[in-house]
Amino acid sequence: MPGFELFGEAEKKQVEDVLESSVLMRYGFDGMRNGHWKAQELENKICNRFKTKHAHVVSSGTAALTVALASAGVGAGDEVIMPTFTFVASFESILALGTVPILVDVDDTLTLNPEAVEKAITDKTKVVMPVHMCGSMADLDALQAICKKHGLLLLEDACQAIGGSYKGKPLGSIGDLGCFSFDYVKTITCGEGGALITDNKTFYENAHKYADHGHDHIGNDRGAEAHPFLGYNFRISELNAAVGCAQIERLDEFLSIQKKQYSILRKALSNISEISFRKVPEGGVENYSFLNFFLPTENDARKAHKALSDGGVDGCFYWYDNNWHYYRKWEHLIDQKSLGKLPEEVQNGLQDFSKTDFSLSDHWVGRNISCLIKLGWSKDEVNERAKRMVEVLSSLRV
């Protein structure tokens, strides 16, 4: 990742189709389009690739999560269980609906700990939202069982794991709803964009209306469309969708490259006894966008991360201290810093972070280093990178 590394003629051709028609909006202007409906085309491709009945593309992965929650009727005062390790968009999408994010621990998968999920459920819980961080997945069997037991929805945030699978099923297609991000640094990109997928027709009908100001999209006169309920504007442009139409056709190509690069690095690091690798649930297949490994202690991880950076190995992340991806640095959420007054349901429902114990998450994330796998590395570059990483990490042995 990311897909922009290999932009080529296919992406150019798709964009040129849109520019030649001059129609950048996904709805209306039927006579000017020359038959080009890129957002619809991308949705059809998504349905085919991910074996799902319905797909709706939107302006971002954050929008996809927000629309997915809204489409399922999740709203003010409801609680959504999410992990401590994710991107800030996870709780932003929840808060946008007046819904309450409930943070729980991750385990050695670096995703939701099922035991912690079970303990966090209350009579206000509506959704369990695993986030398949850095290319790998949660224990979806365990989470599905919990959701079935308590009558909850399972919403897969697969924004960082597109193309991965679990027991033969594409990630995102296993829960009641699944979401992808197509932003500029994802495995396939639209520049900006996202999608939700579902087999539930009601959720889909709600989603495409909600994401376009509540338009019912009945008939061919946009001005005469009815509005069955309130909505917002989360539309994707035809230009962005056009790039996605080309990129999704190349997903298997990208995954193959990522797996090859990942495998070279992992094999090299496997010779260092102090290193262990994240757990991938049985039956799971990563999308190989990141190589995640653990050092024996937090201090070891900090030293290793600095040594890799100083040693010229770029693209290695220590999420424990990252402002965007780990709860420790989410002061704006913890302190409820908002431009406008937050709904009372959110103010009263958020956890008291001065009393929460996320030591289990700290145990895993504090020892983790996550290395980006690039599509554009040459054979020599990835082999040299593997050699250099081994040299740097081996030099830290006590």
**Is there a contact between 162 and 183 (Cβ–Cβ < 8 Å)?**
no
Reduced 3-state DSSP string for 246-279: HHHCCHHHHHHHHHHHHHHHHHHHCCCCCCEECC
Given strand 290-294, what is the order of strands in its sheet? 276-277, 290-294, 368-372, 316-317
The residue from 38, 45, 126, 186 that is catalytic is 186
Cα–Cα distance, 41 to 236 (Å, whole number): 13
DSSP string, 145-191: HHHHHHT-EEEEE-TT-TT-EETTEETTSSSSEEEEE-BTTSSS--B
Amino acid, single-letter form, for residue 178: G
Cβ neighbour number for residue 398 with a 10 Å cutoff: 5
Residue 88 burial (10 A CB sphere; 0-12, 13-18, 19+): middle
**Is there a contact between 210 and 216 (Cβ–Cβ < 8 Å)?**
no
For 197, the 3-state DSSP assignment is strand
Q: For residue 126, indicate whether it is catalytic.
A: no
Cα–Cα distance, 280 to 291 (Å, whole number): 12
Which residues have a catalytic role annotated?
186
